[in-house]
Amino acid sequence: MLDIIHVKGNTYCIDTGMTYLPFYKINETDIILLDSGWAKGERDSLDELLDANNFHVSAIINSHSHTDHAGNNAYFKEKYNCIIAMDSFAAHICSSITHLKQYYSGYSLSGVKAHYGNLVFDTDIIIRDEQKSVYINGIKFGIMQTPGHTPGHICITTPDNVAYLGDALITRDVMNGTKLPYAYILSQDLQSKTSLLNLSCKKYIIAHRGITDDIHGLVNENIEFYKGRATKVLNVIARPMTLEDIMRTIVCAWSIHIQSTYKYKVVERMLRFYLEYLLETGAVSLIVENGFLKYVQSTKKNQQ
Ligand SMILES: [Zn+2]
């Protein structure tokens, strides 16, 4: 059976082994989940825990729509008839398979169905970009826009002044085990990480298993870590290289194990985000050589 951790007041989280899944207790039975977990690896154990505690999920507020955060939205909505609240971007892409394909554009439609099909559901409450709070079952939750990890990522603060940071911040353990952390728009993600310093909460929950009273040191370490990974990618580009050249070099040099087309696409997608960041910061430029698109390190002159 999964463990429940009491964080503060009515705010708790479920330790799934992979994530801390927060929930807010409305009364003895009704709860509001902040994210719904991963369908493939977590649904059965979550079901067992919720049933054993006689919990009824009244609502889900999602930090973002990744499969390990919104994977059970459709399932719980069916089981409990619960309300789903999401940012407008996530609500849009999760409204149909073809909308999901916009986001997962590197996949065929059947590929999107196979890997992300469980992310299709109706969102009841759309959290707009400028919104600073949302009322769910008459309870006010604070909202902070933290785009970057996904275009509409949000952090959610419970009435106990506990902030759920989703994937806007990662723990030191995750940093130690990650070669290329995910950031859809890294430049925005770095700004969002800095903006977390404006929060003044009693406790902070990080999705991939962190609970802390103070995030100052961790915010700075995160920023250095992500920027450091971008620099490592930059240093690989010793000559004009195609995306495949860079990918091949990194996979070998960093011992990244790729044994499926799915994993290849995941790594390729993440690498693209870092290259886009390097393009945005002017560290690399694009050229066409013999008909192929290649990345080159920018000269000082190019950067001016
Ligand atoms: Zn995520």
Q: Domain boundary at 226, 261, 281, which?
A: 226
Q: Return d(Cα 87, Cα 129) in angstroms, integer.
A: 7
pLDDT in tens, 234-259: 999 999 999 999 999 999 999 999 99
- The CA 182 to ligand 1 mean position distance, Å, reads 7
pLDDT in tens, 214-240: 999 999 999 999 999 999 999 999 999
The candidate with the shortest Cα–Cα distance to 126, out of 176, 191, 62, is: 62
Handedness of CA 78, 81, 82, 88 (dihedral sign): positive
Nearby residues of 39 by Cβ (< 8 Å), 6 or more positions away: 67, 71, 72, 75, 118
- The CA 43 to ligand 1 mean position distance, Å, reads 18
Which structural domain range is residue 297 located in?
237-303
- The CA 167 to ligand 1 mean position distance, Å, reads 5
Residue 304 has pLDDT above 50, yes or no: no
39 and 106 co-located in one domain: yes
Structure tokens at 246: 């860079």
The candidate with the shortest Cα–Cα distance to 171, out of 213, 212, 202, 199, is: 212
- The CA 57 to ligand 1 mean position distance, Å, reads 22
For range 270-290, the mean pLDDT: 97
| Contact (CB, 8 A) for 283 and 304 | no
278 and 205 co-located in one domain: no
- The CA 75 to ligand 1 mean position distance, Å, reads 19
- Total of domains in the chain: 2
pLDDT in tens, 97-146: 999 999 998 899 999 999 999 999 999 999 999 999 999 999 999 999 99
- The CA 275 to ligand 1 mean position distance, Å, reads 19
Residue with the two structure tokens 């959290």: 127
32 and 153 co-located in one domain: yes
Nearby residues of 238 by Cβ (< 8 Å), 6 or more positions away: 297
199 and 92 co-located in one domain: yes
pLDDT in tens, 282-292: 999 999 999 99
- The CA 181 to ligand 1 mean position distance, Å, reads 10
Residue 300 has pLDDT above 80, yes or no: no
- The CA 10 to ligand 1 mean position distance, Å, reads 25
**Residue 232 resides in a domain:** no
CATH number for the domain spanning 33: value is: 3.60.15.10
Q: Domain boundary at 226, 259, 274, which?
A: 226
pLDDT in tens, 155-200: 999 999 999 999 999 999 999 999 999 999 999 999 999 999 999 9
- The CA 68 to ligand 1 mean position distance, Å, reads 7
pLDDT in tens, 28-78: 999 999 999 999 888 999 999 999 999 999 999 999 999 999 999 999 999
Residue 302 has pLDDT above 90, yes or no: no
**What local confidence, expressed as pLDDT, does residue 242 receive?**
97
- The CA 243 to ligand 1 mean position distance, Å, reads 23
- The CA 19 to ligand 1 mean position distance, Å, reads 11
